[in-house]
Structure 1
Amino acid sequence: MTIPNAVQIPACSTPQREATAPAPATPGTVATTTENVVDRTAELLGKTVTVRSKPINKLSPSTFTISDQKFFCSQPILVVNATGKPFALPAESGQDIQVTGTVRNFVLADIEREYKLSLQPNQYADYENKPAIVAQSMALAPTPGELTSNPQKYYGKTLAVSGKVDSIKSPNSFTLDENKLIGGEDLLVIHTVPKTSVKEGEKVAVTGVLRQFVIAELDRE
């Protein structure tokens, strides 16, 4: 579930870590894993999928591989950045990212022509005619506790965060539970569409920008 876009909410004035969430994902997007993209390629070809995984290898400014390391011998998937904007992979090897894009069989000549890329053929021999994701959006995917324990690292960045709804604060806000990371606190999520309904205990995914919660700034904006 994706929570719609927003940045304003009346609340207490104590500083908190806040994630603001933008527009919902395109209807029909399939949440899956890189393992499924490999094992169920025929079923997923042409479909828009969202995967959370760890980046493995950067091949060029526009391409990199991802893999579900929790699955033994999981085959890396090639990701082609078709957003037209650079995407910086996380420096930490254990940091997940979220990728949303179309599954297709990778053909170097077609990708270069369609997206006006110049790729080195010798780097892509292992990926030719194998499943790849042509990405329309990408974001770092830290846990709520990673954000609240080290927010300076993430301020101003677009993030994709999933977690269990711990507490409904108002029609516009709720917190995501953090019970895995020592020193981590629950994450406050704010959205501007009160009609969006979430329930305590429900697992949700939000995409937005992390900022410090300052009520005066939110009221003004």
Structure 2
Amino acid sequence: MTAPADLGRRAAAELVGTAFLVAAVVGSGIAASRLSPGDRGLQLLENSIATGAVLVALILALQPVSASFNPVVTLVERGLGLITSTAAAVLVVAQVMGGLVGVVVANLMFDLDAISVATTHRDGGGVLLAEAVATLGLVLVVFGSLRTGRAETVALAVGGYIAAAYWFTSSTSFANPAVTVARTLSDTFAGIAPGSVPAFLLMQLLGGALALALVRLLHMPVPAPVEESR
């Protein structure tokens, strides 16, 4: 069981990590749209490289404390019995709060309003399927990498997967409820209209549930509890 002090440290790490992740996603999207106007492919390339790279750096830096940065990953940890329900709830709240901080900071760094409601609608059957696929793949990569016993492989695998998933999924792989909610507050390249969010969240949770079942099937016994492996 996680001690209160340890849970506080983990929550702080999740908040800070998710804030930097969202700042990188949104900030690099803004920079890409300004540096490469009119070239959506190049913008996506710039955005995906920055996101994948920052994930590697953040996971390596914060993994000794906590480095999920994603409510779906945290809920799968709970489903595997690696953390308590209380710990999961606290970490998810920290992740969502961190995402909100990150998007405000990103907007301000580029001299935009701190909050601007996104108007980019992302919907359609293919896009929603892509979100389930992206999330399923991400969770499999996370927990499969943990099974290697080498902590550094998680950062490289996750960063590489997300950079690739920007391209092979039609949704550009949000795959993270905290990041999805935060991106409603920036009407920029990386934004998503609030009306598109409920379906995205539902498909992300579905992808996470399918991944949980596959992790149980493929990796039994389950990985050692996070508290013991960090």
Higher strand share: 1
> When the two structures are superposed, what TM-score results if normalisation uses the length of structure 1?
0.21
Higher helix share: 2
Computing the radius of gyration over CA atoms, which structure comes out larger, 1 or 2?
1
> When the two structures are superposed, what TM-score results if normalisation uses the length of structure 2?
0.20
